[in-house]
Amino acid sequence: MPTSFLGVVFHWLGGLASGSFYVPYKGVKKWSWETYWLVGGFFSWIICPIFFASAMTNDLFAVIRAQSWNTLCVTYLFGVMWGMGGLTFGLTMRYLGMSLGMGVALGYCTVFGTLLPPIFKVFVDVPDVYIAETIGQIFATTPGKITLAGIVVTMAGIAIAAYAGLTKEREMPEAEKKKAIAEFNFRKGILVATFSGVMSAGMAFAMSAGNPIGTASLAAGTDSIWTGLPKLVVILLGGFTTNFIWCVLLNIKNRTGYQYLASHVRPEHAGVAPMHLAGGPAAEPSREQLKVPVAPNYLFSALAGATWYFQFFFYTMGETKMKEANSDFASWTLHMASIIIFSTLWGIYFKEWKGASAKARGLIFAGIATLVFSTVVIGFGTWLKTRG
């Protein structure tokens, strides 16, 4: 199988994981957002990265300890930046739903994450931040032009998907929106999605900054396809830091910290409306209504967190293959496009588009088709580069 094509396949698998990770959270009951987000985060950013890097690579912690302080700090800090985007990414899902939320947030993320690194290299060439080519060097070759054209097509697909969501928002009554997305709020969601998308682009820089870790892992005898896993330990620790601080602050503010161990939730956190008895006052929820399915909540949160991690497990594999084809700058675009495709399909499955007009449904399918076509264009460009 050609190296470039294999890279595209790995990025699609990563996109499937990322586009699907929020689905298990729908099974969590009577936990606040900050509680299940942090539980899932432990698996996403701490447990899975260490477990898989330890299992798949040689001398994980020795490799990390051998890195320069500058490499570790820069990689970690870009991870912190990305963590701010990842934190608000969860809020985007709450306010806009899976299809529209991911379409808008990842639109920004695609643009900044793909184009800023090669543009950044034009003005500042930091030795510890590996960026293979400047934007000018990419544009100077035919394969580079084709790949950049694929990125433009990706942006067009994202714009179509976002316009489809805006069309749906304008057409549907508020009550219909709330049926599919309980906390739907277009204005708040767009603001959060914008911030999330811009900050999440820090992951593209973090991946570049962490490349010396992968080089050291290769020297330690790790198979090349797994060499991206050790840097995820450092990057995702940065993401965990941001999310941990914010979720704990929300636990304190909302008095929800007890939920991690409690078998019953407090009435104010139950999400159950009081029962109004005929001729009498409203009755508080029963003890049965306040019961928390603790084990299933941990299971669903762990599944969501592990699924989320696999997006970057496969991303590093795809990045390795794209790097062999000298087209790793396109990795971020492929990743984003595949996430939007799969998250939109999940949104359709969960009937987020039920009640939308034929125009809105036609636009979202056109957006998906455009994104699929963009991955073909990018894949063709990277294939040409391997041939040249």
The answer to whether 101 touches 189, Cβ cutoff 8 Å, is yes
Mean pLDDT of 159-180: 70
How far apart CA 339 and CA 56 sit, in angstroms, is 25
Q: Write the pLDDT tens digit of every residue in 277-317.
A: 444 555 676 777 788 899 999 999 999 999 999 988 988 88
- 79-110 in b/e form (b: 16+ CB < 10 A) is bbbbbbbbbbbbbbbbbbbbbbbbbbbbbbbb
How far apart CA 370 and CA 373 sit, in angstroms, is 5
How far apart CA 276 and CA 99 sit, in angstroms, is 37
Q: Write the pLDDT tens digit of every residue in 338-356.
A: 777 777 777 777 777 777 7
Mean pLDDT of the chain: 80
pLDDT over threshold 60, residue 226: yes
pLDDT over threshold 90, residue 380: no
Q: Where are the domains of the chain?
A: 3-272+285-387
How far apart CA 66 and CA 340 sit, in angstroms, is 37
pTM: 0.74
